[in-house]
Structure 1
Amino acid sequence: MDLFKILYPIEWVVAWIVVQFHALFQLLGLNPASGTAWALSIVGLVVVIRVMLIPLFVRQIRASRGMQLLAPEMQAIQKKYKGKSDPASREAMSRETMDLYKKHNTNPLASCLPILAQSPIFFALFRVLNSLQNIASGQQAPIGVMTKDLASQAERATLFGAPLSSTFVKAADAVSGPVGHVVSVAGNVRFVTILLIVAMSVTTFTTQRQLTMKNMPASALQGPMAQQQKMLLYILPLVFAFSGVNFPIGVLIYWTTTNIWSMGQQFYTIRRMPAPGSEAERLLKERQARKGKVQDLVAAGPELPAIEEQPRGQRTQPKRKDRQRKRTTSDGAASETDAPDSSSDPEDDEPEPPAPTKPKK
């Protein structure tokens, strides 16, 4: 069966999504013939695909966590049958391994589901970009909504002076014109390709490193499986370097955007749902402990020192005494005043003791 015939329905869907995003960015005011509009359309394709793959990503996380939890038991089985190569021992080892997978309800193949699901989309986009020149010239029928006019527009679109359909190894072949123009465009293609390959390598290295160093228990960091994962940290950049030079810049944009999405998704997952016994789990518990203390302090409110109230004695109010003063005027009239003497001492307001009386004889 022809592989291209199998990919054609996927090519049709990929072309449809890219064209719809291109129309959206055109409505937003971007030049439809610019490389920015077509590059953002490829980024939009990545967003749609990765959102659709979230359920598979959740299964991948559960499978990876299950594999990490059963790592000590797996090492015990491998140690048990170490050096035994007879058929009976191999069969017993396989049976115990499958029982271990059933016990933890995990499957090692589940961790590969997102990669396997993206592979057809990756190659379908590769086919669409490679077909732009033939569709634009009329040598190939349109792919779905990717008409001759749109293909011609996308084929001429450039990003930093590099056509999106050009590759590193064939940078000069896809350009026509004066020698100086060809050399300039080919240099731009190689520069953009190297830049994207470096971005892919850095994002992949960061994703794998935070997965192995922060989200794996100490027991899982030992053994042949852990050594293989550490080797992948340094092998994958070489794979990108050797394979990336053969892919169009549009495919490299898709690849780089996917890696950036994976790095952010992995960072969020490790921070929120770390593997048991890992360094990330310890950091999560520390953050929760600090957050709990802050919430307790906020709920309790500031504690003010208690002020002891000192007993106060009851103050004796002075008694007011109305004094009558008689003034004798020049004509012999007498006047009375009721105003108290405000300058007098409070002791003067106390009543005078009665005069002693003489005893009667």
Structure 2
Amino acid sequence: MDLFAYPVSLVMKFWHWVLSFVFDPGSGIAWVGSVLLLVVTVRLLLMRSMYRQQYSMRKMAQIAPKMKELQNKYKDRKSPEDRQEQAKEMQALYADAGVNPAAGCLPLLVQIPVFLGLYYVLLNFSPRGVSIEEASTMTNGAFGPDQVASFLNAEIFGVPLASYIRMPQDVMDSLHPGLVREDILVLAVPLFVLAGIATFVNMWNSFRRQKAAKAAEQEAIARVEAEEKAGGPVVDGEVLEVDGEKPADPAKSDGAAGTPGTPATAGAAGSTGAAGKPQDFQSIAESMTESMNQSMKIMMYLFPFFPIVGAYFFNFPIAIGIYWLTNNIWTAVQSHFFMEKLEKELPMTSREGLPPSAFM
């Protein structure tokens, strides 16, 4: 855990040092400011990656028709060589579109260690089983004993930043004489509830936006399928131009197709289903996407309770609530500007449920 905690404490220490030129180093303003500026630092470093994530999601929806055409091109070609060629063409399609399917991983992989590191640092300002007096003589990551003692004395609205809901009374007395649990609850309850609400709003808007993007993608794919069936582009129900050969008559296809007149899709389904052959790449990808959507929907209703539950069962200090709420506010504002920019650069075919103000 020190691997995550030390860099986080180093950034906090830097900002606390900067703010000490303006505010009293031992004041709550200086320490709250160091937490807020930690959020700003991390999110600025991730801004480009976050934008690429949103860009890739929308671009994937836009290139869905080409992906479908590629799938149709190889639907009856199942040899290892054909699959390898299909994979190469798919990689080339991603490259031409400037899409990276893994672009969404980096922001999450960075933010989780930052949160764990901050959680570890804030808890170690007053380690469990150690008196406040003894904690004031210890180091904590990049913080020396002087900074640790300064943080333990810092307050916001009269409540110590290091305090938490289930803090023992003897620790409260040594941390801040006269402090009672009700004082902590008055600040902690609305703070962590607001953090949970902000988390839900961001996740709900993210889920709504993904659903809208998926609907636009399916609409585009449906047009491709209609044009392939008709043998050319279809506008208002009419084929404007026949481009290339029409699909082969199912009756003249391989003997494995079965009875003349059986739709080709039935043969394809048989080859990947009853025959026990592996599913094609697109089917696997769609299955994975559906599973991810279901998991995200469950998380959307469960994860917002985490700051509230953590405040009670995991002894999240007040400073953690400030970080959580600030991080979600940043996410909402940043997503607003990202969506406005993307609406101009990559307008979706179907805009229902995708207003420019949609949050991430």
Whole-Å separation in 2 of the counterparts to 1:197 and 1:210: 20
2:304 is matched with 237
Report the CA distance shift for 1:237/1:147 in structure 2 as closer, same or farther (over 3 A).
same
Task: Tell which structure's C-alpha radius of gyration is larger.
Answer: 1
Is the alpha carbon distance of 1:142 and 1:183 closer, same or farther for their aligned partners in structure 2, counting shifts above 3 Å?
Answer: closer
SS across alignment from 2:102: helix
2:93 corresponds to 1:103? yes
Q: Structure 1 240/190 Cα, relative in aligned 2: closer, same or farther at 3 Å?
A: closer
Q: Which residue of 2 aligns with 1:339?
A: none
Report the secondary structure of 1:110's partner residue.
coil
Partner residue of 1:127? 120
Alignment of 1:259-298 (within 5 A): 259-274=328-343, 275=346, 276-279=348-351
Distance in 1 separating the partners of 2:349 and 2:295: 21
Q: Are 1:47 and 2:40 counterparts?
A: yes
Amino acid at match of 1:110: A
1:163 aligns with 2:160: yes
Q: 1:250 aligns with which of 319, 324, 343?
A: 319
SS of structure 2 residue aligned to 1:108: coil
1:76 offset after TM fit, Å? 9.3
Aligned to 1:294: none
Contact 1:166/1:189 (CA < 8 Å) preserved in 2? no
Counterpart for residue 33 of structure 1: 26
CA contact (8 A) 1:7 1:124 kept: yes
In structure 2, how many angstroms separate the alpha carbons of the residues matched to 1:161 and 1:220? Answer: 55
CA distance in 1, matches of 2:72, 2:295: 18
Tell me how far 1:43 sits from its aligned partner. Answer: 0.9
- Residues 39 and 250 of structure 1 are in contact (CA less than 8 Å); yes or no, is this contact kept in structure 2? yes
AA in 2 matched with 1:183: R
- Measured against aligned partners, the alpha-carbon deviations of 1:222-274 in whole angstroms (never above 9, x if no partner) come to 97255554444323323444345423221222222121111111111112213
Aligned alpha-carbon RMSD (Å): 4.3
Q: Which is bigger in relative contact order (C-alpha 8 A, separation at least 6)?
A: 2
Which residue does the alignment assign to 2:20?
Answer: 23
- Quote how far apart the aligned CAs of 1:203 are: 4.2
Per-residue deviation at 1:180?
A: 7.5
* 2:5/2:116 contact within 8 Å kept: no
User: Does structure 2 conserve the Cα–Cα contact (< 8 Å) formed by 1:216 and 1:279?
Assistant: no
d(CA) in 1 for partners of 2:333 and 2:351?
Answer: 18
SS at match of 2:30: helix
| Cα distance change, pair 60–208 in 1 and its aligned pair in 2 (3 A) | same
Identity over aligned pairs, percent: 25
Deviations 1:100-127 (A, max 9, x none): 3552233332112112122222222222
- Structure 1 CA distance, aligned partners of 2:206 and 2:354? 19
Aligned mates of 1:190, 1:283 — CA distance in 2: 34
- Amino acid corresponding to residue 62 of structure 1 in structure 2: Y
Q: Which of 193, 215, 218 is the matching residue for 2:216?
A: 218
From the superposition, tell whether residues 194 and 258 of structure 1 become closer, same or farther in structure 2 (CA, over 3 Å): closer
Counterpart position of 2:50: 57
CA distance in 2, matches of 1:53, 1:217: 28
Task: Name the residue aligned to 2:270.
Answer: none
Aligned-partner Cα distance in 1 for 2:114–2:43: 11
Write the distance in 2 (CA, Å) between the matches of 1:64 and 1:199. Answer: 25
Distance 2:29 2:165 in 1: 20
Q: What is the TM-score with the length of structure 1 in the denominator?
A: 0.59
Report the Cα distance in structure 1 between the residues aligned to 2:138 and 2:323, rounded to whole angstroms: 24
Structure 2: any 5+ residue segments left out of the alignment?
220-285
Cα offset, 1:74, TM superposition = 7.0
Q: Are the structure 2 counterparts of residues 78 and 230 from structure 1 closer, same or farther at C-alpha, using a change threshold of 3 Å?
A: farther
